[in-house]
Structure 1
Amino acid sequence: MVVTWRGRAHIRECLDALAAQDRAPRVLVVDNASDDGTADLLTGHDVLRLTRNRGYAGALAAALPRVDTEFVAWLNDDAVPTPSWIATLEDALDRHGDAAAVTSSLELPDGSVQSVGVKLTADGHGADTALAGREVFGFCGGAVLMRTAALRSVGGVPAGYFCYYEDTDTSWRLRLRGWQVISVPARVVHRHGASSRLGSSKFHHWNERNRLLMLVRCAPLLVALEQLARFTAITATLPFRKRQQAANFQVPLRLAVLADVLWRLPAALVARARITATARVRRRALWRTWAGR
């Protein structure tokens, strides 16, 4: 699945790269109500056109019911995979029967490595790791292949996230069910941020909110409570700091995040209970293994 929103400037290169794959995939483009002429470029493709912009997570969730293949890929519309990309990912899942997801090697246009997977930081952030050859906690949602049945069995995609952290949340849920996530050198060139405004207030809102919601849903309860309390305490002290703060430390933004988290907290707790009911691995065991590595 390729999700696009106002992707006219770059989606053609992405789709051409998919057409040039050594092993031809079925491609479904999910158009998030683009209003820049993107739709004109998608003639002849299998397209699910949404009536409003549901974000990356919402678009993936909307398209998942249409997937009837063993594997399902997520791919950003500003990503250009090499010809062997899909074959390398499929072969990796075939070889590793205990893996539900295989993540790619995303490179920036200058050749530097952006991500070979996601690590879990000591305070519960999901962060890209660029260290090839190391084990990864989770996958980067910009270019990944998953077992469709495994994804559905853990609840699919958290559509309410809109964008950011849908990949780390899904990685948590897959690992709690006992699945592995692996990384292989399947190369993808990624124009990082071409479809979103990195550093904008919306970016920081979604990023901060979704991390906290992910911890409530997936992490050990004490960790989730500690991080909620820490976020609240830092927010409370910011008015007394004289130094200019970074964008994600602006008080109005952080108050809006807290309000949003509180509003979504009941649903997150219901999701936590469902995840717990089917988990085969203890949250604390995963945390001890992966946090801060």
Structure 2
Amino acid sequence: MKLSVIILNYNSSCHTLECVNSIQRQTQLNDYEVVVVDNGSQAVDFDRLYSLTGQPFLKVIRSRVNLGFAGGLQLGLQVADPSSAYYFFLNNDCLLLDDVCTRLYAFMENNKAVGVCTGQAVNRTDDLEPSFNYYPSLSGNLLGHGLMRWFTPADYLPRRQKYREPVPVPVVTGSALFVRATAFWQVGGFDPAFFLYCEEEDLCRRLRQREWKAMLIPDVRFRHLGGGSTRRNLLIEKEYYISLFYYFRKNENVIKQLLLQLFYTLKVGRKAFRSTHFAQLAWFILRGAPGRESLRYRQGFPVMASQTTDHQPTPSLLSL
């Protein structure tokens, strides 16, 4: 198998079906497969995915609980073809606007030093969206990205600039992350301790440490609709800081961790007069954004979707 496309579904099957349809319409690559992972959705939403079954290139599996972004993708890899040369981790709220899979595959085949790449995202009105990001850092927060660009321009490329040629970037977007399988497994894959955010920063950092390049391929386009399965609220904001400070604990010394904790507490706390939302969030950061308060531990145990004699459930997974 040349390519395995891994897509997560969480109570947003309408996006998932449109995403899969766009892959079918646009992709000319031979020997690819699509793996859809239902990440603990409600039964009625999971039932809508049944229309995808019976297609030889497509697999649908279900986790009883939400494993998070990294955990869900890692689960998908358990049923992906083990011979796949590349993985394309694609958000279900993305639509391919051209033959993204074939073109990214060809680019990676011709550039063996590249471990991960992505295309150019556009929004609903065809305006460019940033398709890469910077590594979270103390210097970037204190000095600002514009000033840091003077010191390390390669790590702080303008994110909203229109690029015409492939360009090395620090962190490719997690919404459409195309990675070389050998590089991915060399660094251990995704860290499932990240539940919802910072997975791509962590992965790209580990790839960079092994001297794999990350690239933006600007003439390969996909549409990112946004808001596929996540709505912003206090719990989601907390989840972001849980992941962010886990990332800092992995990559920064204790002094920098404390300074970053103080920085973000003050940054959020200065808005506390606007709403108790920011006051609660600042207090949460000051307490170190404890992982025990993650949404990971606030889940119920959903009832499995309706089953027929063709479905073979296991204690933690329903495979179609």
Identify whether the pair has TM-score above 0.5, normalized to the shorter chain: yes
Task: Tell me what 1:106 maps to.
Answer: 121
CA contact (8 A) 1:116 1:132 kept: no
Report the AA paired with residue 189 of structure 1: R
Task: Tell me what 2:236 maps to.
Answer: 203
Give the direction of change, closer, same or farther, for the CA distance of 1:248–1:212 in structure 2 (3 Å limit): farther
CA contact (8 A) 1:79 1:142 kept: yes
Give the direction of change, closer, same or farther, for the CA distance of 1:132–1:261 in structure 2 (3 Å limit): farther
CA RMSD of aligned residues (A): 3.0
TM-score (norm 2): 0.72
Higher CA-based Rg = 2
Distance apart, 1:255 and its partner CA: 4.8
* Distance of 1:240 and 1:78 partners within structure 2: 34
Relative to structure 2, which stretch is displaced further, 4-13 or 224-233?
A: 224-233
Task: Indicate yes or no: 2:35 matched with 1:28.
Answer: yes
Relative to structure 2, which stretch is displaced further, 164-173 or 78-87?
A: 78-87
Output one character per residue of 1:29-81: Cα deviation in whole Å (capped at 9) or x when no partner: 01112114233333334112111111211101222233320101100111101
Q: Which runs of 5+ in 1 are unaligned?
A: 264-293
CA contact (8 A) 1:60 1:159 kept: no
Give the direction of change, closer, same or farther, for the CA distance of 1:207–1:246 in structure 2 (3 Å limit): farther
Relative to structure 2, which stretch is displaced further, 33-42 or 241-250?
A: 241-250
CA contact (8 A) 1:204 1:247 kept: no
CA contact (8 A) 1:105 1:117 kept: no
Q: How does 1:152-231 map to 2 (within 5 A)?
A: 152-185=185-218, 186-197=220-231, 199-218=232-251, 220-221=252-253, 225-231=255-261
Task: Report percent identity of matched pairs.
Answer: 21
Q: How does 1:273-292 map to 2 (within 5 A)?
A: none
Give the direction of change, closer, same or farther, for the CA distance of 1:261–1:118 in structure 2 (3 Å limit): farther
More helix by share: 1
Task: Indicate yes or no: 2:100 matched with 1:85.
Answer: yes
Give the direction of change, closer, same or farther, for the CA distance of 1:17–1:23 in structure 2 (3 Å limit): same
Report the AA paired with residue 27 of structure 1: V
Task: Indicate yes or no: 2:22 matched with 1:17.
Answer: yes
Report the AA paired with residue 6 of structure 1: N
Report the AA paired with residue 59 of structure 1: G
Give the direction of change, closer, same or farther, for the CA distance of 1:137–1:247 in structure 2 (3 Å limit): farther
Task: Tell me what 1:279 maps to.
Answer: none
The SS at the match of 1:155 is: coil
TM-score (norm 1): 0.78
